[in-house]
Each structure stands twice: as C-alpha cells, then as structure tokens.
Amino acid sequence: MSRNAADIIWHRRTELGLSQTDLAKSVGVDRRQIRRYEAGESQPTLGVARNLARALEITIDELAGGSPGLSGRWYTSWQLSDSETRHGVVQFTHQRDHVDVSPVRPDKTEGEKSDPDQGGKDGLAWQGGLRVDDRGLFGWFSIDTSTISSRGAMILERHGETMITGTWFSTDAEGLTTGSLGLGRQPDDALAALGMTLTKAAKSSTTDFDGEHPTAT
C-alpha cells in the first residue's frame, strides 16, 4: 500500500474517533493487520479495501489516494425561521455526478445526554439526492421528524473541501418557504457556512436590481 494510502487510513480512523481495534472489528481483520496497513507494510485485498472504505466513510478511490470528492460525513445547520436553527449529521455517497444523502443517527451510550449540535437523536434528520456540476450542487431534500415534515429543493455551492453553503425551498398550502443552509466536515464548519449564507442573503435583500438602495417616493 502506498504511503499516501496508509496516511489516509490513519487520518480517517483518528478523525472518526476509532481505535485500531474498532476499525479491525468493522473490517473483519485482526488489529495487527490495521497496524500494518497504517505503517505501509501490507496491502489489503480488494474485498478488505471495500470494507475499509465503508468503515472509514470514503470511496475506494479516496482510499487509494484519489480525489476526496464529497463522500463522507457532513454536519448540517439549517435556518428554519428567523428564530430557529436546527443541526444534524448526514452521510454523502458521491458517485460520478450524483450524491445520495442519508441521515446519520450516532449511537449513544446509556445515560449519555443528547446533543443536537452533534447530530444526536434530537438533531435534524434529513435525506436527499444531489446532482453535481461545475457550478455547484442542486437537488431535493426530505425532512420527516416528530415536529417537522417538509420536502423541497436546494441549491448549494462548495467552498473548498470543508464547507458548503446554500438555500432551500419548500412549498405547502401557505405558499413558498425558503431558508439558508450550511454544511461542513466539522460542526464549526457547518455553522460558519450557515453564517456565510445568511450574510450573503442579508446583503442581497438591502439592494434592488441596479445595486442601489431603493428610495421612497
């Protein structure tokens, strides 16, 4: 296995908070084999590589040192109204020009307090499908929780490898509803992305089409 791939295994394992034993159990190999992979002393078979990629929440191409793409875990921050922001965690599966979005509900140990900012059981669970092109991402979303049921569209823009900003749209009997959305590889990235979207929206709302503030007549 290349040194780069070995580093990727170590980095993703530590990023996900997994021990070598944890990863070995998920992959179905001995812990010593994980140590050999991370040291660059051994190469996994194709079947093991698939299990490694799945456990590390990346693609086989990423495991081999290819482009990181969008696959993996993303933290999300939604502006649902002027006074309500909700957070959650989703899993992106990126293949070619399509991204499948599925909710992540982390397991909690008994007695552990739920943390919606970290995508706990009270976090906002949503799913969707996105199309990727050179301008960004666009597609659909669906939210079904005990308090929220919404379906609609979203338009997103990438900012480097760690943040995505965007706007969502939903229609119901009362008409069109829209809001801002931020996604990030870490919770702070998601909040920063949401802040960028809100700032951009605020600037747009203070100007008319010619870029000047409207004047009263």
CATH code for the domain of 146: 2.40.128
- How far apart, in whole angstroms, are the C-alpha atoms of residue 97 and residue 7? 27
What's residue 81's pLDDT? 82
Per residue in 178-194, pLDDT tens?
Answer: 999 999 999 999 999 99
In the block, residue with structure tokens 């996105």: 130
The whole-number pLDDT of residue 73 equals 92
- Nearest of 62, 66, 109, 116 to residue 86 by alpha carbon: 116
Band (107; pLDDT cuts 50, 70, 90): low
Q: Looking at residue 68, what is its pLDDT? A: 61
Q: Estimate to the nearest angstrom the gap between the alpha carbon of 124 and the chain centroid.
A: 13
Listed in sequence order, the DSSP H helices in the chain are 3-15, 20-27, 31-39, 46-56, 60-63, 187-205
Report the SS3 class of residue 94. strand
Considering its fold, how many domains does the chain have in total? Answer: 2
Q: Give the model's confidence band at 5: pLDDT under 50 very low, under 70 low, under 90 confident, else very high.
A: confident
Q: What is the pLDDT of residue 108?
A: 42
Examine the domain organization and report whether 59 and 78 are in the same domain. no
Same domain for 107 and 40, yes or no, is: no
Q: Which amino acid is at 10?
A: W
Domain that holds residue 161: 72-205
What's phi and psi for 48, nearest 5 deg? -70, -40
Whether 217 is in a domain gets the answer no
Phi (first) and psi of residue 30, to 5 degrees: -75, 150
Residue 111 or 19, more confident? 19
Q: Are 122 and 198 members of one domain?
A: yes
- C-beta neighbour count of 158 within 10 angstroms: 16
Same domain, 83 and 162: yes
DSSP classification of residue 59: -
Tell me, yes or no, whether 52 and 79 share the same domain.
no
Lowest-confidence segment of 53-57, 95-99, 164-168 by average pLDDT:
95-99
Boundary residue ending a domain (63, 80, 100):
63
Q: Burial code of 56-70, b = ≥16 C-beta within 10 A, e = fewer?
A: bbbbeebbeeeeebb
Q: Of 19, 34, 63, which residue constitutes the final position of a domain?
A: 63
Give this prediction's pTM.
Answer: 0.62
Same domain for 14 and 84, yes or no, is no
Q: Based on the domain organization, do 82 and 165 belong to the same domain?
A: yes
Give the whole-number percent of the chain exceeding pLDDT 90: 50
Tokens standing for residue 132: 């990727």
Within this chain, do residues 128 and 57 fall inside the same structural domain, yes or no? no
Q: Are 70 and 99 in contact (CB under 8 A)?
A: yes
Q: Among 24-28, 97-101, 110-114, 151-155, which is the least confidently predicted range?
A: 110-114
pLDDT of residue 118: 43
Shared-domain flag, residues 96 and 192:
yes
